[in-house]
Structures are given as structure tokens and as C-alpha cells.
Amino acid sequence: MWIHASTVERIDQAYKEIARKAQLPGWDNPKTDALTLVVNWLSQDESGHWLIVLDNADDADVFFSTNHDLLSKESKGKPIASYIPHSTQGSVLITTRDRRVGERLANRVRAINVPPFTVQEAGDLLGSLVGKIDVGDEANAQELLDALAYLPLAVSQAAAFITENGITVSEYLELLRAGDADIKDLLSEELTDSRRDAETQNSVIQTWKLSFDHIRRSNPRAAKILSLMSVLDRQGIPKSLLRQDNDKSIEFTKAIGVLQAFSLITTENSGISFEIHRLVHLATQKWLELQGEMNLWREEALKVVSEVYPVGIFENWAVCNSLGPHMQAVIEYTFDSKTCQLYSATLLSNAIQYDLKQGRYDIALDKCTKALTIRKDLLGPEHPDTLTSMADLASTYRNQGRWKEAEGLEVQVMETRKRILGQEHPDTLKSMSNLAWTYWNQGRWKEAEGLEVQVMETSKIVLGQEHPDTLTRMANLAVTYEDQGRWKEAEALGVQVMETRKRVLRREHPDTLMSMANLAVTYEDQGRWKEAEELGVQVMETRKRVLGQEHPDTLTSMAILASTYSNQGRWKEAEGLGVQVVETRKRVLGQEHPDTLKSMSVLASTYWNQGRWKEAEGLEVQVMETRKRVLGQEHPDTLTSFHNLAYTWKSQGRDTEAIDLMRQAERLRRTTLGFDHPLTISSTQTLCKWQGPVETDV
């Protein structure tokens, strides 16, 4: 198994390819943690004998840093070095130009120095590629090998040129001796690979230049493809980025064949994608700089990637993953033209959706800010694309639990879209739906319901009953009914959405799973715990497989199931799952994220049920104080903290403190949720039981 180890992205892709070829369970899921999957497989003796070549392991940060944002949530926080498998059945061969990195990876085993080719080895390679060398040409062959510093890549390129053009070794040597001003300029350029011997670099550039000049004359399309490849990530370059719409199949195939014949590129994944050697990559870049064409090809690369990189919806996750390194490469370039900056903003906008769906909120935030800045400066604050970027930023804030910031942006976007696009435009409806969801997160359920009903009914007319956006709005309304204690209405709407999504989107689509998870909560609130558990387990296991172990939605499923176990008195199971969710959410979402606090609250309830009141109190006080500061005194979640902590104090015999806090919870719930809400009724009944009938202000 061959692993390109020059970047984190390439290692991750290589492990995914290994998982695919080995048909490991979950290999075809874009969110599968391939690193863990492969290392666990190869670490087992029953997996048989194996050899891994860890090629180009030159960068210590790639292997030993723990801050790789682009890795899956499951792998984040661990060094890549920890995913090198260990087994008595297997071996790992590490190639590196930095002895220190190699010896550290090999647990201080002394590195084996690989010397340059000997004269005999270089001669054998040349002979194997060009055939038998004539007796009279042997001296020329020796001179050629001396000029190429015996470097295998240079020898291969020279042999490819000789073979493709049907010339002799002496004729090639004459071409090499001739040189020109471009060669001198190229050789005078400082190459950035200080670990590689200068003579080695020179020999590659000289052989590359001869091949490139010939290709540029004989097959200009091939030269253009190589130029484009030099400004993309040099590995895993798919055909979709290289083939133009007007390319005839035969012409494209010939162009690729020429580059392969001259040993300038190699194929990956059975010809699906291509790789360019790092020195060829570097030489082509230097040539483009000298010709003043670097910006031209960077602009072309940006245009191509932005046209191919799709919106990050579920169906496009595999494509987004494969294009990720190339997207990252082109958005880091600086562009002066307005057109290119807008291409960059479009690419960022599409990538944001993928990051949000993967739960990578911090990475999405950085892209949102860049895209919004570009669009606001170039298009103005009210252009539809600018409003889209503002909406993306608001969605990112909402996912981070920054609801006030999200609300401010969403109101602005909604009002502007109403004025510019009209009340019933799909983008306007999307803005209203987003704002309603932010109201829901803030516990403002009546305001959320009013907007949601309006948006749902309009969506049915404008988009149709079964449009995914209409179904999302119906699902949101069902959740709002749920939180108001209107469980029968919530269940009826939730079942309708779930069944439609199963039919329209399929069973394992994230939206379908969301419907099933919401329905499990509705069953639980009605005390139908067996039904809740059955649905909850199904959703959790599917989300682990489809989205990954640490995706926010997977963690939500685990939290719901922990609550269901607790309600059935299965406290040890609830505790085990609850602790796992709390620790993971702290790391993935942050200590003060609303979902983290909710998990801590559920875990505290589990401790309380086991009579572990001190542990319950410690967690509940921490959650309550944080919710007061982050969510506000009257947020429903804060009031739940009041209610729960009052119970814990009562269990500890602290009756006066318990009654005072429960009285506060009951009063604020009446004001915030209404007299008839199940949570208000619960607080009222508890207070009556503790102190006698409560006088209420009507």
C-alpha cells in the first residue's frame, strides 16, 4: 500500500483509497474516519501480511502537529503519526529527505541512507528504457549520465524523449549541450527545495525543459494541461479539472498520453486522476513565472475549480472531498481582477455549505468572512450574492450558538430580500425560515411558530408539497410544536415529514435521519420510551456510519438515547453514553456551546437519579451559571437548570433554597412558556407539593 505522505490531505485520501480497495465496512461513506478504520484493520494479525510505503515523509508538522483542521472530527486532536499501524504481520517503509523526521517516525531506528545511483545502476536504468545502446554510443551514454547526475527522474525523462522522438543518445546529448537563455534563467532561479542537491535539481530542469519545449511545439494542448496542473495541488488531479468542454475525447487522451510518455505525469486510481512529480511541478511553475504566465494559469485554475466544485449538499460530499486540496490551493492565491475575486467568493460559498454539513464551523466561519468581504466590496451590500454570504455567516453563527449575532444578520437579510426579491421568492422564504430557527434556539417559540407557519404554507404553493425546503419547514414547525408541549400535533407533522423524506430523499439522507431523531424525542416526551429507544438506536447507528462518530448530529442522537435510557431507569447505560457525549462536545463544539450545556444537564440528571447528588449539583450549578450568561435568565434551557437544581437541593435537605429556586423557575416559566405548558405545570405541581398551593398572578 502506497501512501503519499507530503500533506495531511494526501495521507487522508490514501487511507480512504486503501479502505476502498480492501472493502472495509464504511469505506464508501464520505464521513468515515478512514485513518482509524485502516489502522485498526492493519493492526490485527488476522489481516495478514502487508507492506506500507510512506513516501515523501518530509514535514514534521504533517505527522506530529495535532492541529489539522481539514481532518475528520474523529481524527482531529491526534497526530498523524499515531495512525501508522503496528503489527508483527506488517512492515512500514518510510522515504524522507529529512533524517530527523524519519527516525522519529521509526522510533529512533537509524535511517538507511540512500546514495545516488552508481554509474552501473544509472546505465542499467537507461538501457532498460531505451533498449540496447550501440557500442559506438556508449561513451555518449556515459557523458549523458554524468550530465544528469545519475538522477532516476532525469534519466527517465531523457529516455522518454529519446524513445518518443526516435533519436539516438548522442543526438539527445547534443540537444542538452545546446541549452538556451531559458535554461540559464531557470537554473539561476532559487528552487525552494533546499534538501535536494542543486545538481539534482539542475539535471531535472534541463531534461524537463527539452521535453516541455518539444511538447509545446508538437502538442500545445498537452503543454497547457501541464501548466494547469502546476498551479493545482500536485496529486489526485481529476480529469474533470483538466478536460475542457470543447475537448474531443481523442485529443484529450492523446495530450495526457504525451505527458505520460515523457514521464512528466503519472496516473492514480486506475487512470481516474493524475499526479505530477514535485520537481516537475516546481520547474513548470518557475517557467511560468519567467514567461510572465503564472497569474494567467492561476486565474484559469480558479475558474476551473470554481466551476467544478459543487454546493456542499449530501449528494455532493464525495466530490467536495476529492476536490478539497485543489480548492484550498486556489483560494490561497491573490487576485487583482474583479472577475477572479468573484470566482473565489463563489468557490468559498460552495465550500462553506460542505464545512457546515460536516460540523466544521470554525473553518466555515473563516470562509464566510472572506466571501462576504469580497462580495460586499465588489457588488454592494444589497446584491443577491452578498445577501447569500450574509446568510451563510448567520448560519455559521447559529451553529456556533451565537444566536444574537445570527438574528441581527438574518433580520437584515430577510427585510432586504423582501424588498428586492419579493415576499414569495425562494431566497426570501429561506431567510424567514432561518430567522424562525434562530428564534426557536432562543426559546422564542411563539415567534418561531408564526414565521414557520407562514413560510410553510407559502412554500407549499411556490415550491410544492414535497420539495426538500418545504419538508424542512414542516419539520421545524413540528419541533416547535414539540417544545410547546403540543405533542400530538408534533407527532402527526413529524411522521408525515419522515415518511415523505424516506420516499423522496431515501432512508439514510441526513434530513431523513433528522426527522427520525425528532420523532424519537416526541415519543420520549409522551413516555413512549420503547418506541423512542428503537428509533433512537436506529438513527444513532446510521449517523455514525453516514456522518461519522463525532458529527454534531451523531452526538445529538447519542444525547437523545442517553436521555431515553435515563427515563427507563437504565442509569449506567445513560451515564456511559452521557459522559462520552459531554467530553466529545466539549472538544468539538466548545465548553459553552448550548448543546454541550444540554449534555451536561442530562448527565447531571442521571447522577441525580442514582442518588449522587453532590456530583449532580456540581454540574447543575456550572450549567446554570453558564446558561444565565450565554443564553439569558429567561431562556427555557436556563429555567430547566433552575428546576433541576432545585430538585437536587431538595434531595439534600436544603428545603428553603430549593423552594426559593423552584418558585423562581415556576414564575419565569409562567411568563415565558405560558400557564398551560407541560414544563410550567411540572414546576407548579412540584412547588405545590413542597410548600402548598401557589398563588398566581393572572
Number of Cβ within a 10 Å radius of residue 630: 17
Q: Judge contact between 276 and 237, C-beta under 8 A.
A: yes
Residue 90's SS3 state is: strand
Cell digits for 349? 460559498
When pLDDT is averaged across residues 434-458 and rounded to a whole number, the result is: 89
Q: How confident is the model at residue 388 (pLDDT cuts 50, 70, 90)?
A: very high
Q: What is the H or E stretch that residue 267 is in? A: strand 265-268
When pLDDT is averaged across residues 644-658 and rounded to a whole number, the result is: 91
Kindly give, in sequence order, each residue whose CB lies less than 8 Å from that of residue 669, ignoring residues fewer than 6 positions away. Answer: 636, 639, 643, 677, 679, 680, 683
Buried b (16+ CB within 10 A) or exposed e, 411-425: ebbbebbeeebeeee
Sheet architecture: strand order including 273-276:
237-238, 273-276, 265-268
Which is higher by pLDDT, 429 or 73? 429
Q: pLDDT per residue over 198-208, tens digit each?
A: 445 566 777 78
pLDDT for residue 594: 83
Comparing 132-141, 228-237, 378-387, 388-397, the range with the smallest average pLDDT is: 132-141
**Helix and strand element counts for the chain (H, E):** 33, 6
Cell digits for 367? 470562509
Q: What angle do CA 126, 132, 133 make, to 5 degrees?
A: 75
Report d(CA 569, CA 495) in Å as an integer. Answer: 27
pLDDT for residue 192: 44
Amino acid identity, position 560: I
Q: pLDDT per residue over 118-138, tens digit each?
A: 889 988 999 898 887 776 778
Kindly give, in sequence order, each residue whose CB lies less than 8 Å from that of residue 629, ignoring residues fewer than 6 positions away. Answer: none
DSSP string, 325-360: HHHHHHHTS---SHHHHHHHHHHHHHHHHHHHHTT-
Cell digits for 121? 545502476
Q: Judge contact between 579 and 602, C-beta under 8 A.
A: no
Rg for the chain, CA atoms, rounded: 31
Q: pTM for this one?
A: 0.64
Q: pLDDT per residue over 30-57, tens digit each?
A: 667 888 889 999 988 888 899 999 988 8
628: buried, middle or exposed (CB in 10 Å: 19+, 13-18, 0-12)? middle
Q: How confident is the model at residue 549 (pLDDT cuts 50, 70, 90)?
A: confident
Nearest to 152 by CA among 95, 236, 98: 95
Residue found by looking up cell 411558530 in the block: 449
The four Cα atoms 544, 546, 548, 552 give a dihedral, to 10 degrees, of -90
When pLDDT is averaged across residues 164-178 and rounded to a whole number, the result is: 82
Buried b (16+ CB within 10 A) or exposed e, 259-276: bbbbbbbeebeeeebbbb
When pLDDT is averaged across residues 609-636 and rounded to a whole number, the result is: 88
Amino acid identity, position 579: V
Report d(CA 665, CA 671) in Å as an integer. Answer: 10
Amino acid identity, position 652: Q
Cell digits for 221? 494542448
Q: pLDDT per residue over 488-537, tens digit each?
A: 999 999 999 999 999 988 888 888 999 999 899 888 888 888 999 999 99
Q: How confident is the model at residue 139 (pLDDT cuts 50, 70, 90)?
A: confident
pLDDT for residue 72: 55
Residue 115's SS3 state is: coil
Tell whether the model's pLDDT for residue 197 goes beyond 50: no
Residue 388's SS3 state is: helix
